[in-house]
Amino acid sequence: MRVGICINGRKKDVFIHITVVHLFGDYNGHLPESKELSKLGLSIDHLNRNKFDNSVSNLEIVPVQENYSRWPKVEKEEGCLPY
First-last CA distance in the chain: 15
Mean local confidence (pLDDT), 37-52:
93
| Dihedral-angle region of residue 12 (phi above 0 means left; psi in -120 to 50 means alpha; beta otherwise) | beta
Nearest one of 34, 50, 54 to 42, comparing CA atoms = 34
The pLDDT of residue 8 is 92
Q: Please provide the average confidence, as pLDDT, over all residues in the chain.
A: 88
The pLDDT of residue 60 is 97
Segments making up each domain of the chain, as ranges: 2-70
Per-residue model confidence as pLDDT tens digits over 22-44: 999 999 999 988 888 989 999 99
Residues 6 or more apart whose CB falls under 8 angstroms from that of 62 comprise 42, 43, 44, 45, 70
Residue 74 pLDDT greater than 70, yes or no: no
Q: Is the pTM of this model over 0.95?
A: no
Angle at the Cα of 35 (from 7 to 68), degrees rounded to 5? Answer: 120
